[in-house]
Structure 1
Amino acid sequence: MGRRRKGRDISGWLVVDKPAGITSNAVVNKVRWAFGAQKAGHAGTLDPAATGVLAIALGEATKTVPYITDALKAYRFTVRLGVATNTDDAEGEVIETSDARPSDAEIAAALLRFIGDIEQVPPRFSAVKIDGERAYALARAGEEVEIAPRPLYVESLEMVARPDPDHVELEMVCGKGGYVRSIARDLGRVLGCLGHVTELRRVWSGPFDAEDGVTMDLVEELAKTPELDDYLRPLEEGLADLPELRTTPEGATRMRNGNPGIVLTSDAEYGDEAWASLDGEAVAVGIYKAGELHPSRVFKG
């Protein structure tokens, strides 16, 4: 027999408005402790200095994490022009400066180069693995690291404010795996003035908005109390980007046993990934084929 997990068998999403100065993993650990949950995970790391949406999945909701990780996300951030750092943010050491300052029109024109399907090199100080080692560990050890470019889809990138010649505030909507620090670094290079991120906030991630998030102060205040459970959102919210297919009790039983089950209604087309529900509760995620869902992930009833 496998070892039984300690903690409550509780499932759902908690949307946290992460404060600056704490790692994403520390937030996950604190939330798991506060709920006394058996299992917890997050849908997309934020740098310690960043704020905003950090979606925490508990229990069965952890099975829906990939769908939030893959969803579009929006970031609002400030770029300091004229200064490059070794970390591409304000936490690092200044490695180069420039007196050049672009006009608003030059910035707007340069942003167009970062929209659509682009290639992006992650920062040297990032969690990307190189030959099994984290890039930031190699960089801290003084080793030269060469990181291969990675694809990124950017739906939009716009200038929202120019408070002074040295700073520009931007908002970006992008897909999975985007590094805002790389955008700031590369924009500075394109403009010929250098740049790094000074402030970063994830405004929304998939169906979750920062303005609906709970604070870590509230999590600590209500830890281990029934009142904290009131802030938990259904695991089904993690499936918002997939078609929902209603099933029957018999179909639900078959799917929970790993077999194809009948679905009654469908907005999905043959071969689409979708999820089946019974009385509004998620039963399984899988592939829709000819009136049945072939499950790949199942949820406890």
Structure 2
Amino acid sequence: MKRTQRKIIRRAVDGVLLLDKPQGLTSNAALQTARRLLNAAKAGHTGTLDPMASGLLPLTFGEATKFSQMLLDADKAYEAGVQLGVDTDTGDAEGTVLATHPVAVSEEALREVLSRFVGDIDQVPPMYSALKRDGKPLYEYARAGIELERSARRVRISSIDLVSFDGSRFVIRVDCSKGTYIRSLAMDIGAALGCGAHLCALRRTRIGAFGIEDGVPLAQLEAAEMDARDGMLAPADTLVSAFPRIDLDAQQAQYMLQGRPLSLTEQGEGFARIYGPDAFLGLAEWKPDGKLWAKRLIATGEANQST
């Protein structure tokens, strides 16, 4: 007798979970675990973290998924451990050792090399990355033993602070633009020092305005009751909180929900988060015609909102 599989009925959950991802877990596994714990119907994330990395991984649920792109474009900060004298095929501690070199690096020499990487730099993405070529991530080619030519990309390193150095291993704090690969930075620093290097630890500590101090450890989420888990979610408008707020009256809100532009007394530029009398409505954009047009609206005005 064929057994029918019971369909899981999930609930509508709107909000943002600033997850502190543990090391050893893929971003998708962390997302699916959080989704299961919240029994959420719809979920997404705002960019991935390697399994070996820990730290801030904002997860979006329900209507908040519409604003995930806002954090994909945000600047980020990391604390990275780098091992000198050892090159690996992946550029991190999980790879196969390709070569070892003697290390004779002073702290003064290290600081001088680190300073060279501050500012706008050209960086070649590593083969072991999720960057796609012809619809397939580069790491799949790498695992098949295929090395593809990659063009250098311009990224910005706002600052590099040396936290500690013991002669062969150092820890740095890095503030950088989107698209920066910290493992590539580690390898490039090792090459500049003449002894090779690989990334041996990584923790993301900031994305945009959100810091690791706001993060919820996965173990804490797992240990909590459902009501408490819901209380760990930030409201759906959290990811657009950096944009100016515009409060609309009931008629203006109705026009916006109908896709009609608004001519307001005070004009702005760029994006704005818009609110009706009772709820967050979504994101709008000032156009060259001086009018405010809906950019991305949530499906319901019932989602929780911040002030």
TM-score normalised by length of structure 1: 0.91
Aligned partner of 2:93 in structure 1 is 90
Is 1:218 the counterpart of 2:220 in the alignment?
yes
Aligned partner of 1:255 in structure 2 is 256
Aligned partner of 1:152 in structure 2 is 155
Residues 79-99 of structure 1 deviation map (CA, whole Å, 9 limit, x = unaligned): 001111101100001112211
Shift of 1:206: 1.6
When residues 148 and 281 of structure 1 are mapped into structure 2, their CA distance, relative to the original with a 3 A threshold, is farther
Show the 5 A alignment for 1:1-301: 7-162=10-165, 164-222=166-224, 225-262=226-263, 268-269=268-269, 272-279=270-277, 281-289=279-287, 292-299=291-298, 300-301=300-301
When residues 274 and 295 of structure 1 are mapped into structure 2, their CA distance, relative to the original with a 3 A threshold, is same
CA distance in 2, matches of 1:111, 1:59: 42
SS of 2:79's partner is: strand
TM-score normalised by length of structure 2: 0.89
CA distance in 1, matches of 2:251, 2:258: 11
When residues 112 and 291 of structure 1 are mapped into structure 2, their CA distance, relative to the original with a 3 A threshold, is same
Shift of 1:52: 0.6
SS of 2:216's partner is: coil
SS of 2:68's partner is: helix
SS of 1:67's partner is: helix
Indicate conservation of the 8 Å contact 2:74/2:177, yes or no. yes
SS of 2:155's partner is: strand
Shift of 1:39: 0.9
Shift of 1:244: 2.0
- Amino acid in structure 1 at the alignment position of 2:258: N
Unaligned runs of 5+ in 1: none
Unaligned runs of 5+ in 2: 1-7, 302-307
Indicate conservation of the 8 Å contact 2:241/2:273, yes or no. no
CA distance in 2, matches of 1:160, 1:191: 18
When residues 32 and 263 of structure 1 are mapped into structure 2, their CA distance, relative to the original with a 3 A threshold, is farther
Indicate conservation of the 8 Å contact 1:160/1:170, yes or no. yes
CA distance in 2, matches of 1:139, 1:280: 52
Shift of 1:100: 3.1
- Amino acid in structure 2 at the alignment position of 1:206: G
- Amino acid in structure 2 at the alignment position of 1:247: L
Greater displacement, 121-130 / 79-88 = 121-130
Counting aligned pairs with the same residue, the percent is 38
- Amino acid in structure 2 at the alignment position of 1:231: M
CA distance in 2, matches of 1:280, 1:262: 21
Q: CA RMSD in A?
A: 2.0
CA distance in 2, matches of 1:10, 1:236: 14
Indicate conservation of the 8 Å contact 1:71/1:206, yes or no. yes
Residues 8-56 of structure 1 deviation map (CA, whole Å, 9 limit, x = unaligned): 2221101111101100001111111111111111112100010110100
Residues 218-260 of structure 1 deviation map (CA, whole Å, 9 limit, x = unaligned): 222236x222101110122101222222222222222222221
